[in-house]
Amino acid sequence: MKKGKLLAAVAALLGVCVLLTLVLTLWQKAPETSRQEDGEQTVINLVYAFQNSQWNACVEEVIRRFEETYPHIDVQYEIRYEDSVYEDLLFRLAARDELGDVVQIKEPYAWVESGLIAPLPQSLSTQVSTTCTVDGETYGVCALGTTTGIVYNKGIFDRFSLTIPTTYEEFLSLCATLKENGVTPLGVGGKDLWHFEYWLNHFLRADILSTEPDFLAQCSSGERDWNDPLITTMLTHLNDLFRLDYVDGGWPSTPDGSMAHLLAEEQVAMVFSGPWLATDARALESTLDLGWFYVPNTAGSVIAGDSLDVFWTVTAGCAEDPERYDAATKFLEFFYSDGLYEETYTAMAGFSTLTDRSRDQNSDDTVLLEVNRAHESAQQRIRGYVGDENTPPGFEKQLLTLLSRMCAGELSVAQAQELSAAYWETCLKQEVSYGP
């Protein structure tokens, strides 16, 4: 009897074990339910540079249409421009582990080395001609190409029989003519430190890189330094515009966003900026007749700046979450989608970076036509700039601060150059933290 009960108990126990094993097996094999299937939204955070109204409007429009197309994805972003240079903002966010998911970066290579950004899918990288690629993996895709030059008021030029200058001396002469006739030649948004990048990089390209294309790389390697006479020439040309009183006197307190107003109200005749400024100014005064030209260098050559410094990247933290990574790459693919991308780079008066040249958009806007003609006919198109991969991290902000002080008369050219040379060496030796 006891033996029978024991056998029965063992059999019952075995039955329970088999049942539990079956249940566990079925539970382990059950497919995981995604956030999308649960009706939840996948949230991705976007960090980008808010430096002009056109770019902000373009990005917001992409987000709006993307969320309409993918209602299960929520793209969150916040205008956080607590620093005068965008890269400083990124360093702060990285230090706080708040870099987000999709990030606009000027030069992605250092961020690749830091391990903070992830490879992008081939389906995306093959669409774009300008990329950041390391060891066969693409980490950044260029959003669009832009350029910078002079946006000018044609009405003011006609009033004083002025024409587009063909030499740098002619440019200074027309500035003198405007000043003599009571017209402020140039507007500068000096309240925004980054605005100085426009004139700085123009003179860098015109005075240095046009003849010494490897100058910044040689400074980084120690072959040359910032005390070079070419730097003296560059700083002198910039300082002269202010010393000769060709710049609006209120420039230290004037933000970049006021440049359109100054043009529309004829308070200045010219502004060195991007072609998007013409769109902003004509939004304030639709009858405004504006034009475009590049300032020639002292050798009489026209140097066009090729600004290929807006890269989209996805963070390594985002890549750890498959659904966030999928949402982030979907957003970037949507950015380049047919029709929308053409609208974006046209609104920015920019150039396509797609490998498919058949999608190039030809604008009938008079200013954009002048931009395209000038860009195509320029003797040189130069990409290098202060802040590129040959510039030590942290130097750009230090230099822009010195330039602002120099142009305000607080420092001489010699003092600004001496300090900038010291900052260059310090930044070369200094380790910058890209993460927490």
CA atoms within 13 A on the CB side of 411: 19
How far is the CA of 420 from the CAs of 98, 107, 160, 416, 427, in angstroms?
31, 21, 40, 6, 10
The band of 79, judged by pLDDT with boundaries at 50, 70 and 90, is low
CA atoms within 13 A on the CB side of 31: 5
Who wins on pLDDT, 106 or 103? 103
| Per-residue pLDDT at 62 exceeds 90 | yes
Per the confidence metrics, is the pTM higher than 0.85?
no
Note the Cα 1 to chain centre separation in Å: 87
Q: Would you list the DSSP string of 351-370?
A: B--BS-GGGPPPP--HHHHH
Q: CATH 3.40.190.10 in the chain: give the residue spans.
A: 42-146+308-360, 149-305+381-429
In sequence order, which ranges of 207-256 are alpha helices (DSSP H)? Answer: 215-221, 229-243
Output the CATH code of domain 42-146+308-360. Answer: 3.40.190.10
Which pLDDT tens digit goes with each residue over 167-185?
A: 999 999 999 999 999 999 9
User: Percent helix, strand and coil across the chain, each rounded to 5?
Assistant: 50, 15, 35
Tell me if 121 sits within 8 A of 329, measured CB to CB. yes
The band of 92, judged by pLDDT with boundaries at 50, 70 and 90, is confident
Whole-number average pLDDT of the chain? 88
The band of 394, judged by pLDDT with boundaries at 50, 70 and 90, is confident
CATH superfamily label, 149-305+381-429: Periplasmic binding protein-like II (3.40.190.10)
Q: Give the residue-averaged pLDDT of 183-188.
A: 98
pLDDT, residue 299, reads: 94
